Amino acid sequence: MDKQYDTLKLSHQLCFPLYAASKEVVKRYKPFLDELDLTYTQYIAMMVLWEHPTISAKDMGEQLFLDSGTLTPVLKSLEAKGYVVRRRSDEDERVLMCSLTPTGLALRDKATSVPPRIAACIHLLPEEGIALYSLLYKILGK
């Protein structure tokens, strides 16, 4: 009759499988991203740049749910790889503008092979993927 601690069982948690599945899926990206010499964080930053070839660090951080403590070293490493140029805005010196280089743009062609290969190793039906997607964005408040 020891029900008062049931809510503390691992199997009763929603956050825990969220946390574990997130790490698990990021891990599945690794062999594919290794081919591009990108980490997962660098990859999602490149995704933002492929859609927005010039964007402020702040706007990128908001899209990625990352703060400057995380994003600053990511952007510096992408700059070191030659995919990004970092430059202060002329209108407002506080703002750091990030721009995609031609090399960074070219990387997109190699990257197109990643999503289908990831999809192939996440064993969800299409409708399950859609359901998961909308539940996750509901948690994110978007």
Where along the sequence are the contacts to DNA (CB under 7 A)?
Answer: 19, 23, 27, 30, 39-42, 56-58, 61, 65-75, 77, 86, 91-96
Q: Under DSSP, is residue 65 helix (H, G, I), strand (E, B) or coil?
A: coil
Q: Is 131 in the site for a copy of itself (CB under 8 A)?
A: yes
Member of 3, 91, 102, 138 binding a copy of itself (CB under 8 A)? 138
Secondary structure of residue 98 in the 3-state scheme: strand
Tell me if 47 contacts a copy of itself by CB under 8 A: yes
We find the least distance from the C-beta atom of residue 71 to a copy of itself, in angstroms, to be 14
Residues 6+ apart with CB under 8 A from 72: 57
From the list DNA, a copy of itself, none, pick the one residue 127 interacts with, judged by a Cβ distance below 5 to 8 Å according to partner type: none
DSSP 8: G
- Find, among 63, 59, 21, 20, the residue nearest to 41 by Cα: 63
Strand partners, 54: 99
Q: Which is nearer to DNA, 27 or 117 (CB)?
A: 27
Residue tagged 């750091």 (tokens): 96
**Which residues make beta-bridge pairs with 88?**
96
Inter-residue contact 117 to 123 (CB < 8 Å): no
Query: Residue 95 Cβ, how far from a copy of itself at the closest point, in Å?
Result: 21
Closest separation in Å from C-beta 60 to DNA: 8
**Residues contributing to the site for a copy of itself (CB under 8 A):** 4-5, 7-10, 12-26, 29, 40, 44, 47-48, 50-51, 63-65, 108, 111-112, 114-116, 118, 122-124, 128-129, 131-133, 135-141
